[in-house]
Amino acid sequence: MDVFGSFALLLAFVCAVYALVGGIAAILTRHPLLIKSTRQAGMATCILIFLATFSLEYLFFSDNFASAYVVSHSNRDLSTFYKVAALWSGQEGSLLFWSFLLSIYVLSVLVVYRNKNGELMPYVGVVLAGVQIFFLALNNFVASPFKMLGNVSASGAVEPFVRMDGNGLNPLLQYPEMVIHPPNLYSGYTGFTIPFAFALAALLARYPGEKWIHLTRKWTMIAWCFQSCGILLGAHWAYAVLGWGGYWGWDPVENASLLPWLTGTAFLHSVMMQEKRGMMKVWNVWLVFTTFLLCILGTFLTRSGIVSSVHAFAQSSIGSWFVGFLCLIMVVCLTAYIKNRDYLKSENRLDSVVSRESSFLFNNLLFLVACIAVLSGTLFPVFSEWFTGNRISVGPPFFNKIMIPIGLALLFLTGVGPLLAWGRTSKESMKRNFGWPLLAGIVAAVVSFAVGYRNVFSTLCLFLCGFVGWTIFLEFYRGARVIAARSGMNLLFSAQELAMRNTRRYGGYVVHFGMVLIFIGLAGAAFNIDVQKTMNFGDSMKLGPYTLILQSADTKADKNYTAQRMIVEVLKDNQQSMLLYPEKRLFQGRDQSSGTMVAIYSTLREDLYVVFAGQDQDTNLPVVHAFLNPLVKWIWFGGVWVVLGTLLALVPSRKVSLVLAHSTEPAPATVVPALNPTVTLQEGHD
Amino acid sequence: MTSRRSILALTLVFVLGIVPLLAQQADRVKTVGSRFMCMCNCNQVLTQCNHVGCYMSTAMLKELGEMVGRGNSDAIITAAFVKEYGTTVFAEPPKSGFSLIAWSMPFVYFIAGATLVIFVIRKWRSRPATVLQSAPGGIAVSADALDRARAQAARDTDD
């Protein structure tokens, strides 16, 4: 099966090269058979990558310990569930997994648009083939997942051998969330390739109209949704498994996932300017290019070892390939832009500073500042070493100080933007729209202050959450009230009908609501408290309203690990509340590595988070570390709403037909005198 | 009697003097410790390293506690840590020298970006409004009426 997998990968590479070279020839000659064959070559590339991936997965499921990759990342006792995750636990397999997910997108695009957008699709196919060639080249010639174990004999011949068992999977990955976090995150990274391909193709083809933006926006939303899920799942995994009490450590690999998310979010907002007003075409094209470049940069940071990270793969020479690919993409994008920039000209006109257009401009500014701040902070240790010879760390305190004000400013714009009208917002409109939300914000701030959340940034954050939350509520309420008055439905059904008539708009509001909930969760971080104590059985520690008593310990043996479990009784206000079981797991495998399972009692108000941190070196007694983390649950809750809102925005809006009262047929169209506009009318959009 | 009073006096001195001092020193260890990274490569601030028995954070915190106990100033403690562990021990770039670049860049980006945005807004606002000419036999529309119509259309189709 390893030979089959290797061959499938090599054949996929050949097909991708044909799709690229043949695709360029097809564009130049416009020969229909050539266009068709290169499209089919693109599809074949995807199918061959699927086969190669299934081959590697088969090696895992069949415990083939002749394979070097399987030996490094699996063992006989590893459950089937985690053998799936073992595919992407190492450099080689994760690159193949990247190609696999990219192929799902590419195949979908080639199939869905096989009879549409005939002018554009050959260019799209060429760009996608180019990206696939890069990752296939890595897997074929630099980091093959199908290497077999072998001993070099005295004669120089390589003699294959088979190990009895493997080293096992990294304990940090043996957690259900780690089976879904990487696929989501990689789906986000690879998904941004599609809008990049469409944007570059539209620029190269000088594709008329704004249709490519509609295509680009939907694929961007899908990728953005996966990226958001990946980031939140990773944060939750860090919280539940790593045991340091937090969910975001500004680790370089974490930052790498945030960068394309920031520019992707900026694009999803500024694309509305292009659709509504035909504005910011150049900006949008470069936002899409930058998002894709940041995806490649992110994976470069993870794999090259130039920045130290607990998440990174081992340092390897693969980094130079990524640098080369990044440079190539930049050259191609720059060349395409310089040659065709006149195609992106637009008649931009703004009536007023106080308008939705301005709010989008500032929104984009803040997202880009956040992106550049995170990127420069992440790379600063490298730059400082290059220029001064000293490597200076840039840790969480730096990022928190920079990003908190930016985050709050973005939250403010989240509330203000939808309240402003396109073109111009009158003073009366501002008074009408801002009054109640400001009051809601003040009430939220006062309540938070009263219950004890007394920190400047947290209070400001909760004020803004109240403000933004109320603006979103008003949007739904006002629209639903109109529908309820006309249809006789209740407000809830009217709100549902309202959302279905404009899923993109109201899906966006649901996403904003999810972000408000996430910010409420983040506001609680300033009030985290913790206690660490070496405890004997019967000892207790106090944390807020909770008293923790270490009752006993036990050992639980599983197929792949042995868990040492502490049994902690929790009293709240001196009343018995629950038992918690923080544990440490010792995994089978050559290095007997260990992992932590945190015990969390989670409510909307706070999380009681208890870690069995290890044994005291002097007394050999267990050390228990307990945290009280307010409002954390709101973050995960908000994440669910972000995903739901994105899914709603992807659903096509329900069409509404106008029927006059006492009429059995739709009213005839009214004839109006023709005007001779001297501007080009904007294309319709959904 | 005298010994009892002495014991009581000593106890009072301990409770009123030493205990708050120890608490103050513990707070100072936490504050100063939060400025350093744990050097075991966990990428966590020294006081947040969650590895029990971590060979680095245990030793670093012990050393920090001793220096705080001796009454050393923050500057002396920082210099000693940098001398022993290098500049990578900082949790955030120092606000001096080359490291000022890290702190100033976000402000520079924001000011540059805001300047550009304001320039773009002004440029867009200065462009003339497009005039629609009516066809022969059509209705002449005043600019005011057109503005009102645009505002109404914007309200009706707001997204």
The pLDDT tens digits for A522-576 are 999 999 998 888 999 999 999 999 999 999 998 888 877 888 899 999 999 878 8
Q: Are residues B85 and B101 in the same domain?
A: no
The pLDDT tens digits for A198-253 are 999 999 998 877 778 888 888 999 999 999 999 999 999 889 888 888 899 898 98
Q: Are residues B123 and B135 in the same domain?
A: no
CA–CA separation, A244 and A613 (whole Å) = 9
The pLDDT assigned to B134 comes to 47
Rounded to a whole number of angstroms, the distance from the CA of B80 to the nearest CA of chain A is 16
Q: Are residues B51 and B100 in the same domain?
A: no
The pLDDT tens digits for A365-423 are 999 999 999 999 999 998 888 888 888 889 899 999 999 999 999 999 999 888 887 77
The pLDDT assigned to A675 comes to 43
* CB pair distance less than 8 Å for A369 and B109: yes
CA–CA separation, A73 and A185 (whole Å) = 20
The pLDDT tens digits for A606-650 are 999 999 988 887 888 899 999 999 999 999 999 999 999 999 999
- Asked if the C-beta of A377 comes within 8 angstroms of chain B's C-beta atoms, the answer is yes
Q: What is the mean pLDDT of residues A500-517?
A: 94
The pLDDT tens digits for A588-602 are 665 556 678 899 999
Closest CB from B87, B127, B130 relative to A390? B87
CB within 8 Å of chain B, chain A residues 543-572: none
The pLDDT assigned to B44 comes to 83
Q: What is the mean pLDDT of residues A242-268?
A: 92
CA–CA separation, A656 and A213 (whole Å) = 24
Q: Which of A117, A392, A488 is nearest to B101 (CA)?
A: A392
Closest CB from A279, A394, A426 relative to B92? A394
Contact residues, chain A, for B37 at CB < 8 Å: 393, 395
Asked if A594 contacts A586 with a C-beta cutoff of 8 angstroms, the reply is yes
Neighbour tally for B76: CB within 10 Å: 12
């009892």: which residue's tokens? B4
Torsion from C-alpha of A40, A43, A47, A53, nearest 10 degrees: 140
- Tell me the CATH number for domain A175-348: 1.20.120
- Asked if the C-beta of A533 comes within 8 angstroms of chain B's C-beta atoms, the answer is no
The pLDDT assigned to A347 comes to 63
Considering only alpha carbons, which residue of chain B is nearest residue A373? B106
Assess whether pLDDT exceeds 50 at residue A197. Answer: yes
* CB pair distance less than 8 Å for A392 and B88: yes
> SS3 for chain B, per residue?
CHHHHHHHHHHHHHHHHHHHHHHHHHHHHHHHHCCEECCCCCCCEHHHCCCCCCCCHHHHHHHHHHHHHCCCCHHHHHHHHHHHHCHHHECCCCCCHHHHHHHHHHHHHHHHHHHHHHHHHHHHHHCCCCCCEECCCCCCCCHHHHHHHHHHHHHHCCC
- Asked if the C-beta of A481 comes within 8 angstroms of chain B's C-beta atoms, the answer is no
Which tokens in the block code for residue A74?
Answer: 């699996």
The pLDDT tens digits for A271-324 are 888 887 778 888 999 999 999 999 999 988 888 777 766 565 555 678 889 999
CB within 8 Å of chain B, chain A residues 109-128: none
- Asked if the C-beta of A401 comes within 8 angstroms of chain B's C-beta atoms, the answer is yes
Q: Are residues B10 and B77 in the same domain?
A: yes
Q: Are residues B112 and B50 in the same domain?
A: no
- Asked if the C-beta of A625 comes within 8 angstroms of chain B's C-beta atoms, the answer is yes
3-class DSSP state for residue A234?
helix
* CB pair distance less than 8 Å for A380 and B102: yes
First to last CA, chain B: 87
Closest CB from A279, A350, A675 relative to B132? A675
* CB pair distance less than 8 Å for B155 and A243: no
CA–CA separation, B145 and B129 (whole Å) = 14
Q: The domain spanning residue B12 has which CATH number?
A: 1.10.8.640
3-class DSSP state for residue A544?
coil
Higher pLDDT, B153 or A193: A193
CA–CA separation, A460 and A448 (whole Å) = 10
Contact residues, chain A, for B133 at CB < 8 Å: 675-678
DSSP 8-state assignment for residue A67: B
Contact residues, chain B, for A369 at CB < 8 Å: 106, 109-110, 113
Q: Are residues B10 and B80 in the same domain?
A: yes
Q: What is the mean pLDDT of residues A259-278?
A: 90
The pLDDT assigned to A658 comes to 54
- Domain tally, chain B: 3
Neighbour tally for A628: CB within 10 Å: 18
Residue A559, Cβ density class (10 Å: 0-12 exposed, 13-18 middle, ≥19 buried): exposed
Closest CB from A358, A381, A395 relative to B45? A395
Closest CB from B41, B45, B48 relative to A308? B41
Q: Amino acid letter at A47?
A: I
Closest CB from B35, B48, B102 relative to A376? B102
- Bridge pairing between strands A158-160 and A546-557: unpaired
Instruction: Write out the residue range of the structural domain in which residue B53 sits.
Output: 2-92
CA–CA separation, A399 and A216 (whole Å) = 31
CA–CA separation, A537 and A535 (whole Å) = 7
Considering only alpha carbons, which residue of chain B is nearest residue A386? B98
Residue of A363, A403, A422 to mutate, testing the B interface (most B Cβ within 10 Å of its Cβ): A422
Contact residues, chain A, for B42 at CB < 8 Å: 310
Q: Amino acid letter at A351?
A: D
- Report the mean per-residue pLDDT for chain A: 87
Residue of A375, A398, A597 to mutate, testing the B interface (most B Cβ within 10 Å of its Cβ): A398
Contact residues, chain A, for B87 at CB < 8 Å: 384, 390-393
- Asked if the C-beta of A685 comes within 8 angstroms of chain B's C-beta atoms, the answer is no
Rounded to a whole number of angstroms, the distance from the CA of B131 to the nearest CA of chain A is 7
Domains of chain A, by residue range, sit at: 1-148+163-170, 175-348, 527-634
Q: Are residues B151 and B138 in the same domain?
A: yes
CA–CA separation, A537 and A557 (whole Å) = 22
Q: Amino acid letter at A467?
A: F
Closest CB from A396, A502, A674 relative to B45? A396
* CB pair distance less than 8 Å for B110 and A365: yes
CA–CA separation, A243 and A16 (whole Å) = 44
3-class DSSP state for residue A467?
helix
Q: Which residues contact B126 (CB under 8 A, 6 or more apart)?
A: none
Where do the H-state alpha helices sit in A417-523? 427-451, 456-487, 491-501, 503-523
Q: Are residues B144 and B83 in the same domain?
A: no
Asked if B39 contacts B54 with a C-beta cutoff of 8 angstroms, the reply is no
DSSP 8-state assignment for residue A140: I
Q: Are residues B83 and B13 in the same domain?
A: yes
Q: Which of A408, A258, A376 is nearest to B100 (CA)?
A: A376
Q: Which residues contact B13 (CB under 8 A, 6 or more apart)?
A: none
Q: Are residues B12 and B85 in the same domain?
A: yes
Q: Are residues B6 and B84 in the same domain?
A: yes
For A293, A526, B113, the CA distances from A374, given in Å and listed in that order, are 15, 21, 16
Neighbour tally for B13: CB within 10 Å: 10
- Bridge pairing between strands A583-587 and A575-580: unpaired
The pLDDT tens digits for A31-69 are 889 999 999 999 999 999 999 999 999 999 999 888 899
Residue of B51, B104, B124 to mutate, testing the A interface (most A Cβ within 10 Å of its Cβ): B124
For A293, A333, B102, the CA distances from A131, given in Å and listed in that order, are 12, 13, 33
The pLDDT assigned to A657 comes to 61
* CB pair distance less than 8 Å for B127 and A348: yes
* CB pair distance less than 8 Å for B34 and A397: yes
Q: Amino acid letter at B47?
A: T
Asked if A167 contacts A589 with a C-beta cutoff of 8 angstroms, the reply is yes
Rounded to a whole number of angstroms, the distance from the CA of A422 to the nearest CA of chain B is 6
Q: Are residues B117 and B150 in the same domain?
A: no
Low-confidence ranges of chain B (pLDDT < 70): 1-2, 14-20, 22, 50-53, 127-144, 147-148, 150-159
* CB pair distance less than 8 Å for B106 and A402: yes
* CB pair distance less than 8 Å for B91 and A276: no
